[in-house]
Amino acid sequence: PCMCMRVCVDELACVALLAGYGFAIGNVAAFDMEDPQAVVSPGGVGFDINCGVRLLRTNLQEEDVADKKEQLAQALFDHIPVGVGSQGIIPCKGPELEAALELGIDWSLREGYAWAEDKEHCEEFGRMLHANATKVSARAKKRGLPQMGTLGAGNHYAEIQVVEEIYDAYAARRMGLEREKQVCVMIHSGSRGLGHQVATDALVAMEAAMSRDKVKTNDRQLACARVGSPEVKTLIAP
């Protein structure tokens, strides 16, 4: 087995668990950052960094949109670039991308792409204060520039959905889903080429660190480095 797992404090699986590249998608592993043998593995984050699903509720019922389904579906295709090679709808140059990477959701708020209350539903309120955009490679930024505001390909989607059945009224109410046939919008997307390149760059650096420190894993995608290494400091520190 991999050295990573021998120093792992705990691990668990999220609701959506499926095979990934070395590290399962939906798998969570915890390491003791005070343990000098503990490691950081970019594969645990994955290639589509920040990939996730968001459900946006509306005040509409199915009957309100029943005769507009085709128009709504067409509107999604008209306004949201999808597929491999799709170009973004957010005009973005180098400085804007730098600001987006540095400010997180605060950039989205400033540019009118988010509401203030969205911050309450994001990890770290949508911005990791120790983030340092200068650590992101020029190639990663180049790949990300034309993709701002795109959905991507694969299993990414934007759908208009309806609540068919409520199994747990309390949990549903906490999420603002209080009635069946309520119309919602579900989005599944990630960081596309930018995130993929960040992961690729990190894995290359980790492989070099493994060779230097004689660390072995049973899968290249689990490449890692010890917490005190310069590679990890570059990856997770300001």
144 and 158 together in one domain: no
167 in a labelled binding site: no
- 130 among annotated binding-site residues: no
Residue 159, annotated as binding a ligand: yes
Is the same domain home to 70 and 178? yes
**pLDDT at position 5, please?**
44
Q: Is 204 contained in some domain?
A: yes
Judge contact between 150 and 82, C-beta under 8 A.
yes
- Do residues 76 and 158 lie in contact, with contact meaning Cβ atoms separated by under 8 Å? yes
In a shared domain, residues 97 and 140: yes
Separation CA 93–CA 97 (nearest Å): 6
Does 157 belong to an annotated binding site? yes
* 13 plus 108 within the same structural domain: no
Domain with 35, as residue range(s), is 3-47+197-236
* Number of domains the chain is built from: 3
Residue 143 included in any domain: yes
- The pLDDT-based confidence of 3 (bands split at 50, 70, 90) is very low
Lowest mean pLDDT among 78-82, 160-164, 195-199: 78-82
79 is an annotated ligand-binding site residue: no
Grouping H, G, I as helix, E, B as strand and the rest as coil, residue 201 is helix
To the question of whether residue 113 is assigned a binding role by annotation, the answer is: no
The answer to whether position 14 is within a domain reads: yes
With a cut of 80, say whether residue 174 has pLDDT above it: yes
On the question of pLDDT at 31 being above 90, the answer is no
At 224, the amino acid letter reads C
Question: Does the residue 97 lie in any domain?
Answer: yes
Same domain, 168 and 59: yes
Q: Assess if residue 85 is contained within a domain.
A: no
Task: Confirm whether residue 48 is marked as ligand binding.
Answer: yes
List 157's β-bridge partners, or say none: 188
**Does the pTM exceed 0.75?**
yes
Q: Is residue 65 part of a domain?
A: yes
Residue 29, pLDDT above cutoff 70: yes
Please indicate, yes or no, whether residues 120 and 138 belong to a single structural domain of this protein.
yes
CB 20 within 8 A of CB 27: yes
